Amino acid sequence: MKLLAGFLVSALACAQLRPADPSSAGMSKDRLERAAGLLKAETDSGRVLSASILVARNERIVLHRGFGRMAPTANARLTQPDTIYLLASITKPVTVCALMLLVERGLVSTNDPAYVYFPEWKNDLERQSIKVRDLIAHTSGLPDQLPQNTDLRRAHAPLSDFVKGALSTPLLYKPGTDFRYQSMGTLLTGEIVERLTKTRLRDFFAKEIFQPLGMKDSFLGMGSHRIEDTAWCQSRPSPDDERFGANSPYWRDMGHPWGGMHSTTTDLAILLQTFLNGGAYSGKRLFSPTTVATMTRDQNTHVGKPWGFGWGLQNSFVWAYFGDLASPQTFGHSGATGTVAWADPVNKLVTVILTTRPSGEDNGRLLRTVSNAVTAAIEK
């Protein structure tokens, strides 16, 4: 039995996504075409500018397609299966992945008081009870965005100014007693990583996560990439769009830990498959299996608002974009730019749907219905 267990662990460590016929993965080709058809109909109508999807089961890629155009111009390039998108909040679990690597190395504990890493809080009685775990499970009392968020963006403030604001903004409730989705908690999580490693978060992502996993088209901020090489975000028209909107050089390159990552369907599928494999991919181990289990189980039983460390869960009350049919063990995240990435450990299913229409415009219905069509394609 021990020999068999060792073989299984070794096999998982070598597992790698590869294209295959849907039937070989127990999936219906016709039903997968329904999922693809939903995205095609939206791009054909013009309601969605660009959309890409990847579905994999048992490490087999059974659907990988792109629809529409990358920009709202007649000569824009056609969307490819691996067109690069601004992910928005799918960045959050990647930031937590960076922190958890430091947890594994003994540099930080999720149960540490946060003021250990923020001496600015040492004499702040209100913030002394915030633990690191509160920052990554949305229970710190911090707001989602700062009250001065728009003013900071309009002024092209550096990320350090957002950090200063997060360190001093009034809390919404006593830490650890409630749940409130919070980008500022993720911002401070990234700040902990930078303070401990003396490395910019975008560089830590590249060296410690993207390069080891072979996520070749992923980056925090823009780096050496051009906005025109990525899908255009369908942000609502505003006089400030060009200055600090979703397609502005300022916002795209800020590298904000809560929403500034760019990636593709394949790269996100690799990250999710790594979690399904217990922390390893293509012969390389990124996380311990215990870290994977910790990040993907409910950490908020004390407040009754299910959430993992970084990852949203299928039964998280605000996280319906995984659809209605995925197993209760499903985890993932969505992004306001119109993106979702999730993995179902029970069905060994990975799904990444990246679009350019903000999910708030239809309350996530497109992402939800496509996810349903994907899960319904399981035959055995």
**117, 132 contact by CB (below 8 A):** yes
Which segments in the chain show pLDDT lower than 50? 1-13
Q: What is the CA radius of gyration of the chain?
A: 20
The owner of tokens 């179902």 is: 344
User: According to the model, what pLDDT value does residue 5 have?
Assistant: 41
- Cα separation, 259 vs 296, in Å, equals 20
**pTM of the model as a whole:** 0.95
Provide the 10 A C-beta neighbour count for residue 41.
Answer: 13
Instruction: Determine the residue type at 334.
Output: S
- Cα separation, 368 vs 204, in Å, equals 32
User: According to the model, what pLDDT value does residue 319 have?
Assistant: 60
User: According to the model, what pLDDT value does residue 127 have?
Assistant: 95
Q: What is the DSSP string of 62-113?
A: EEEEEEEBSSSSTTPPBP-TT-BEE-GGGHHHHHHHHHHHHHHTTS--TTSB
CA atoms within 13 A on the CB side of 247: 20
User: According to the model, what pLDDT value does residue 74 have?
Assistant: 86
Domain annotation for the chain: domains and CATH numbers:
16-90+202-375 (3.40.710.10), 94-197 (no CATH)
Residue 235: strand, helix, or coil: coil
- Chain-wide mean pLDDT for the chain? 94
Number of helical (H) and strand (E) elements in the chain, helices listed first: 14, 12
- Cα separation, 135 vs 145, in Å, equals 14
User: According to the model, what pLDDT value does residue 318 have?
Assistant: 56
